[in-house]
Copies of this chain bind each other. A is one copy, B any other.
Amino acid sequence: MDILMLSNGKIAGNEHVMGFASEAIIEQVKRTGAKKWVLIPYAVIRSSHDDRVAMVQQTFDALGLDCQVTGLHQAKDPVAALKAADGILVSGGNTWVLNKTLHDLGLVGPIRKAVLDRGVPYIGWSAGTNIACPTIRTTNDMPIITGAVLPSLNLVPFQINPHYLEAKVEGHNGETRDERIQEFLEVNQHEPVIGIPEGTWLHLHNDQLSYHSANGKDLKLFSYGNEPLYYSEQQNIQFLMAHSC
């Protein structure tokens, strides 16, 4: 498998979506030879799915990659479209809408088969990274739909918190991100959570997990009963694949 899990889409001062991970995307395209990419846009709520496809096509074009992006929402038969795709992209937006739509359309199995069995490259950001986890329990998104589905693609055996942020808004008494993750750990004491700040990503390639940071920010590993630990992109994080901390 060749799975890129980005914290977010855009970062300040970077005009293209996924721009901060340009080198990783170029390498992945060259390594896999993937030309026909299908974008899963169901998380996108406040703009059109077609626009999101165009936005991602612009990134590929700007990187000088000879790749074509189509939207899975445009396919008459989404399962057939996934089978025909050389690569799968999953846009950010609302994780709840994305995950439920994948289940409603019967796409969880086909995506897992493509990525895990056929080795089709996967690039997700934000919600597209949340759904690579066993469940979406570490999303930051509001559960805007009544039919909540939590189990997800389970491409990696741990929970990721994308857009991870240590900041506290002065004077605000709502829970910090760390406090929310500590609540997760209290209830799920055997499941680590990996916070990845904006501008960073995880890469799972042939069972080897690595962390990458475009801005020097570290990954933050939360596990029950322990102080959180920071890992830089130089450090080995392969132990996370064993799903124990």
Chain A residues proximal to chain B, CB less than 8 Å:
8-12, 45-46, 93-94, 97, 126, 135-148, 150-151, 163, 165, 167, 169, 171-175, 179-184, 186-188, 198
Say whether, besides A9-B173, A169-B165, A174-B163, A182 and B146 are in contact (CB < 8 Å). Answer: no
Q: Are A183 and B136 interface neighbours, CB within 8 A?
A: no
Given contacts A140-B174, A169-B169, A173-B163, contact A145 B9 (CB under 8 A): no
**With the chains together, A136 CA to B144 CA distance in Å?**
9
B172 in contact with A198 (CB, 8 Å): yes
Q: List 16 A-B contacts (CB under 8 A).
A: A8-B173, A8-B174, A12-B173, A126-B174, A137-B143, A137-B144, A137-B145, A141-B175, A141-B180, A142-B184, A144-B180, A144-B183, A144-B184, A146-B150, A163-B173, A165-B174
Known contacts A10-B173, A126-B174; 6 additional CB pairs below 8 A are A12-B173, A136-B143, A140-B142, A140-B175, A167-B169, A173-B198
- List residues of chain B with CB within 8 A of the CB of A184: 142, 144
CB distance from A47 to the nearest CB of B (A): 10
- Taking each of A141, A143, A186, which has the highest tally of chain B beta carbons within 10 Å of its own beta carbon? A143
> In the complex, which residues of chain B have a beta carbon less than 8 angstroms from the beta carbon of A171?
12
- Are B137 and A46 closer than 8 Å at their CB atoms? no
Contact A46:B183 (CB < 8 A) given known A163-B174, A174-B165: yes
A12: chain B residues within 8 A (beta carbon): 171, 173
Number of copies: 2
Output the least CB separation between A154 and chain B (Å).
13
Give Cα distance in the complex from A125 to B105, angstroms: 38
Which interface residue of A8, A144, A173, A183 has the most chain B CB atoms within 10 A? A144
B residues within 8 A CB of A165?
Answer: 169, 172, 174
- Determine the residue in chain B with the shortest Cβ distance to A9: B173
Across the interface, A183 reaches (CB within 8 A) one of B137, B139, B142, namely B142
